[in-house]
Amino acid sequence: AYGLVPVAIVLAGLLAATDAIDVPLDAGTGERVVAVRSADMLRERHEMLAGDLTVDLTAAPLPRARPARVEAAVGVGELRVLVPADATVAVDAEVRLGDVTAPRRDPSGDTGVAVEESFTLEGGRGAPCLAVGGAVRAAVPGEKRWRS
């Protein structure tokens, strides 16, 4: 009976990990760049279980009248969202462990555990608008970046 204790500990750890991560276990691992080039791709939720995920919106068909909503999540790793330099971007970011960084923004943002930040990066007049929602459960090396 004592031989099952290590198995129970591993199973309990896996259950706890899947509860803490809101991405499917089959979302993939490694390094991935998603170049969004269509309205359908813009509506998809971009996910990765573990690794580095870059969502490139620099050539996406972005509306100018109303914000396009983009969702992305990484279980363990780093999430980067690349946006057009002149875009207005409203960001809702959640990092369970790590920090949030963005250009055109005060670099002294929160870092640590359960970081939740909402901010807007103002773009040019008549520029495309984006609403970006992203989550990273454990950031490695400890960052979530919103780049332009």
Give the whole-angstrom CA distance, residue 18 versus residue 24.
8
- Provide mean pLDDT across the span 92-98: 81
What DSSP state is assigned to residue 126?
T
pLDDT band at 10 (very low <50, low <70, confident <90, very high): very low
- 13 pLDDT more than 60: no
Residue with the bigger pLDDT between 139 and 34: it is 34
Q: Which of 66-80, 87-101, 105-119 is least confident?
A: 105-119
pLDDT (0 to 100) of residue 85: 82
Considering the entire predicted model, what is its pTM? 0.75
Cβ 62 vs Cβ 85: under 8 Å: no
- Taking the C-alpha atoms of residue 66 and residue 139, their distance in angstroms, rounded to an integer, is 31
**Across residues 111-123, what is the average pLDDT?**
79
Buried b (16+ CB within 10 A) or exposed e, 54-83: bbbbeebebeeeebbebbbbbbbbbbbbbb
Instruction: Tell which residue, 78, 25, 72, has the closest CA to residue 44.
Output: 72
**For the chain, what is the mean pLDDT?**
75
